Structure 1
Amino acid sequence: MIVSNVNLSGCAEVNSAVCAGAGEGHLGGGSYRTTLTPTGNLVVAVCLGFIGTFGLLNNLLVLVLFCRYKMLRSPINLLLVNISISDLLVCVLGTPFSFAASTQGRWLIGEGGCVWYGFANSLFGIVSLISLAVLSYERYSTMMAPTEADSSNYRKISMGITLSWVYSLIWTVPPLFGWSHYGPEGPGTTCSVDWKARTANNISYIICLFVFCLIVPFLPPFLQFSFFLLW
């Protein structure tokens, strides 16, 4: 459960306004307030609206072109389609909620919605990262040993796509079961992993997420690229 960083039991001993603000920040009532000014919320809403609309149209176009033209159905383009699908899901299942929250100046869909938003955006984001890592490795392999596309190429790419989703689930499900948690972030109009809690439980998850979802996936492509430049 997402809890406020302020201990409400001490309300009798502190200023009532502070306690009211702490209670307002708790998502149990679904009314977590933003820390931005109305102008700040407007700017964020405009940016999110542009990003969401552009991302939706752009990724839909990629999928339409891939389905319509057979010449585009190559193994490498399957990876690009996977990235487009994950980005499209963010635009459909994530951005509208943060956009609506910014227009109203508060989170609108409660604690459960906050957890869903944090989980979904983390899942789709890591899928895109892993797909980019697989894409980097595939491009490096093609440059070093060019080959014609065949059925084995499709099988390898399909395995890479499956790996991206399974691997992402492995690292985004734990907060749902107590290893860290999903909650409000930044101005209070979006939700993600709790980046601020200084507990061993939370810090260990953040470190593992950074190492295994960023450093490890991109270390091999980085080393390969460095070797290619030196070679």
Structure 2
Amino acid sequence: MIVSNVSLSGCADFNSALCAGAGEGHLGGGSYRTTLTPTGNLVVAVCLGFIGTFGLINNLLVLVLFCRYKMLRSPINLLLMNISISDLLVCVLGTPFSFAASTQGRWLIGERGCVWYGFANSLCGIVSLISLAVLSYERYSTMMAPTEADSSNYRKISLGIIMSWAYSLIWTLPPLFGWSHYGPEGPGTTCSVDWTAKTANNISYIICLFIFCLIVPFLVIVFCYGKLLSAIRQVSGINASMSRKREQRVLFMVVIMVMCYLICWLPYGIMALLATFGPPGLVTPEASIIPSVLAKTSTVINPVIYVFMNKQFYRCFQALLQCEAPRRGSSLKSSSKVPTKAMRGVAGTGPRRTNNFLFMVASLGQPAATVPQLGLSCEPTIDITKAPSSDNKPVVVSLVAHRDG
């Protein structure tokens, strides 16, 4: 997890060897001992309490829905579960300790606890970031794939989940073995990577972390969702009114995803670079605690954006509250596969080639096996042909959009 400045406030209550080393090297030979006021610590504690409580509730609710309703157990939703699990671990392994430290105005669990806190929160934070990038790539690759999407194939998603944890370990284990290190940050009530040491060892790690754990995932997300939005615009030749509504909905979701990513994580990157390349004391504890709190808000925001804005999850959430079976709306489920290639073929036969399969990606939160509801001005003609059961062929669903008038 990318975090901001490291200060030495609270050294009197912290391990003396750690503070001495920090005073000698981590701040370029200077000792920076400013701390937050009691009112500042109270404000931070209230914010962390809010984030920890709602982050825990939101992510636990996502896991409950996934375990209770079989209709949610699709490969793409499994990736959403990975995001929720990593966010939930942050709420369990990190936020309670920083909350307790803020209420007391000092770090409470010693040097080893500080290292563990920094490692665990960095690991889970980077897993969440990489999972968001994998999610965007999965949606993009599903749309662009020349073959049909198999809604029962968990192999690719499982590899993506394993990759997200392995990739995170690659970048969070080095500080434990000498490439940079974990220590106190901000006003001394949280711990993370040391951003202020001016050694080549530390600077090289921070540059790599900034590029590969913040910039690269962001570029992947922007590219993939940009391609999705461009694909949605291609349906404008079918029906202008329907296209505008779907384009606006997708644009809204993409903008929200990108903006929340930047709001939660960009301040970390900026503060990290200022603390790394700026003069000692440039980033004060008061300024550095803000990015730390903003990043933790991602544990609350991610379930809302990526899950509860998903119509399928939202219907299950309503069903859970009302103690009834979830409504399927207008979604159509095939027996095992959705023949995306066949749908593309239908689109290519008309006088003006339009990709009908793009109706499926207009609702970004739904798995590939679900066809979202069409606009009122677009009348669906559904031709369902099922081969004998012995052939085990997928159901073919064709969507033909008629022009008004």
Interval of TM-score (by shorter of Structure 1 and Structure 2): 0.7 to 0.9
1:42 and 1:192 map into 2 onto residues whose CA distance is 21
Q: CA deviation at 1:24?
A: 14
The 3-state SS of whatever aligns with 1:216 is: helix
Q: If each structure's helix is expressed as a fraction of its own residues, which one has the higher value? A: 1
Shift of the 157–215 alpha-carbon distance from structure 1 to 2, 3 Å rule, reads same
The more displaced of 29-38 and 162-171 is 29-38
Segment of structure 1 superposing worse, 146-155 or 165-174: 146-155
Deviation per CA, 1:139-198: give whole Å up to 9, x if none.
112233487653773100000000000110111000001100001111111100001111
Deviation track 1:91-140 (CA, whole Å, cap 9, x = no partner) reads 00100000000000000001101000000000000000110010010111
The structure-2 alpha-carbon separation of the partners of 1:39 and 1:161, relative to structure 1 and needing over 3 Å to count, comes to same
Residues 40 and 7 of structure 1: is their aligned pair in 2 closer, same or farther, counting only changes over 3 Å? closer
User: CA 1:34/1:64 → structure 2, altered by over 3 Å: closer, same or farther?
Assistant: farther
| C-alpha deviation, 1:218, in angstroms | 3.7
Correspondence for 1:141: 141
Q: Kindly tell me: are residues 75 and 32 of structure 1, through their superposed partners in 2, closer, same or farther at Cα, counting changes over 3 Å?
A: farther
Task: Provide closer, same or farther for how the CA distance between residues 11 and 62 of structure 1 changes in structure 2, counting only shifts above 3 A.
Answer: closer
* Alignment pair present for 1:45 and 2:45: yes
Q: Contact between 1:179 and 1:201, CA under 8 Å: does it hold in 2?
A: yes
Contact 1:87–1:124 (Cα < 8 Å) also in 2: yes
Q: Report what 1:168 is aligned to.
A: 168
CA distance, structure 1, for counterparts of residue 178 and residue 17 of structure 2: 32
- Are residues 69 and 199 of structure 1, via their aligned partners in 2, closer, same or farther at CA, if it must alter by over 3 Å? same
Contact 1:32–1:188 (Cα < 8 Å) also in 2: no
Q: Do the aligned partners of residues 174 and 8 (structure 1) sit closer, same or farther apart at CA in structure 2, a change above 3 Å counting?
A: closer
- Name whichever of 11-20 and 167-176 sits farther off: 11-20
Distance 1:10 1:56 in 2: 28
Q: Deviations over 1:43-102 (max 9, x none)?
A: 000000000000001000000000000000011101110000000000001000000000
Aligned partners of 1:101 and 1:107 also within 8 Å: yes
Tell me, yes or no, if the aligned pair for 2:83 and 2:128 is still in contact at 8 Å: yes
SS of 1:192's equivalent in the other structure is strand
CA distance in 1, matches of 2:74, 2:12: 66
Distance 1:6 1:184 in 2: 6
* Greater CA drift, 135-144 or 65-74: 135-144
Deviates more, 1:69-78 or 1:137-146: 137-146
C-alpha change, 1:140 and 1:115, in structure 2 (3 Å) is same
CA shift at 1:11, angstroms?
A: 15
TM-score, with structure 1 as normaliser: 0.79
Please say if residues 10 and 106 of structure 2, whose CA atoms lie closer than 8 Å, have aligned partners that are also in contact: no
Partner secondary structure for residue 152 of structure 1: coil
Structure-1 residue corresponding to 2:23: 23
Given that 1:31 and 1:108 are in contact with CA atoms closer than 8 Å, whether structure 2 keeps it comes out as no
Segment of structure 1 superposing worse, 199-208 or 6-15 = 6-15
Of residues 2-11 and 108-117 in structure 1, the stretch that sits farther from structure 2 once superposed is 2-11
1:2 and 1:111 in contact (8 A); partners too = no
Q: Secondary structure at the match of 2:184?
A: strand
Alignment match, 1:69: 69
Q: Which stretch shows the higher mean deviation, 139-148 or 94-103?
A: 139-148
Q: Secondary structure at the match of 1:33?
A: coil
Consecutive unaligned residues in structure 2, runs of 5 or more:
220-405
Shift of 1:214: 2.1
Query: Structure 1 residue 18: deviation in Å?
Result: 17
C-alpha deviation, 1:215, in angstroms: 2.5
**For residues 48 and 31 of structure 1, do their structure 2 counterparts lie closer, same or farther at Cα, with a shift above 3 Å needed?**
farther
CA contact (8 A) 2:7 2:34 kept: no
Cα 1:20–1:161 change in 2 (3 A) is closer
The structure with the largest alpha-carbon Rg is: 2
Give the 3 Å change call, closer, same or farther, for CA 51–28 of structure 1 in structure 2.
farther
RMSD of the alignment, in Å? Answer: 6.3
TM-score (norm 2): 0.46
Tell me how far 1:210 sits from its aligned partner: 1.1
Rounded to whole Å, the distance in 2 between the matches of 1:153 and 1:112 is: 42
